[in-house]
Amino acid sequence: MRKTLLAAAAAISLLAGASTASAANFSFTGNFALDDDVQLFNFNVTSESMVTLRTLSYAGGLNAAGETIARGGFDPILILYDSAGNVIDWNDDPGPGVVPTDPTTNSYWDAFLTALLAPGSYIVSLTQYDNFSSGTLADGFWREGEGNFTAYIGCPTGGPAFNDASGQPGCARDSHWAVDVLNVADASAVPVPEPASLSLFGLGLLGLGFIRHRKARQG
């Protein structure tokens, strides 16, 4: 599963990189089925560019395509990788004023990051808090195989308990997500392939560790 994600991302990234386009903005929406789901995106830049990655589904808002995104989605994490699956940057919560505040929980837990990137191909992962990367993309994620890991927070436990870590009324969330990839040549969502596709790729990647952190409760 871990190397399958990277293999799929690498393959689609190579195909997308074959064409050149002017910088543009791309919007994606979807739903998770389980707490430990991972959605990948590929994008390319053809000249040095300040790229922005953001989610909108926690607090809601208007995406780059002009679509209104409802509030109430899970607490998201965005991780940016190079084409080999090494972590460049990541964001969980950027702080007040950077992303909208959810009116029910009074929390600002959409993800937002910017990076000045050289021409090339890149990968982004979307996960639910606290399913952080275990290192490189090939190393997988903390909560892999735990389809209902958010039950530990104390919100609903019947099935995938999409929620946030505030412990406040309204912390129960749903599965929808929305991601914008801004100022890139092209971008695409990556379908997760079957494990058999692993045989097509041999990738030796070094690990990069994350320091675990806990989200602070808000008063």
Task: For residue 201, give the 3-state DSSP assignment.
Answer: coil
Q: How far apart are CA 54 and CA 78, in angstroms?
A: 8
**What is the model's pLDDT at position 163?**
72
Per-residue pLDDT of the chain (219 residues; tens, 9 = 90+): 554 455 555 554 444 444 445 799 999 999 999 989 999 999 999 999 999 999 999 999 999 999 999 999 999 999 999 999 999 999 998 888 899 999 888 889 999 999 999 999 999 999 999 899 999 999 999 999 988 888 776 655 455 568 776 666 656 788 999 999 999 999 999 986 533 332 233 333 323 222 223 333 333
Q: Which domains does the chain have, with CATH numbers?
A: 2-197 (2.60.120.380)
**Helix (H) or strand (E) segment spanning residue 6:** helix 2-16
Question: For residues 37 and 1, what is the distance between their CA atoms, to the nearest angstrom?
Answer: 11
The H-or-E segment that residue 117 falls in is: strand 112-117
CB contact set of 130 (below 8 Å; sequence gap of 6+): 77, 142, 143, 165, 212, 214, 215
Kindly state the DSSP code that residue 19 receives in the 8-state scheme. S
pLDDT at 55: 98
Whole-number pLDDT of residue 160: 54
- What is the reported pTM? 0.77
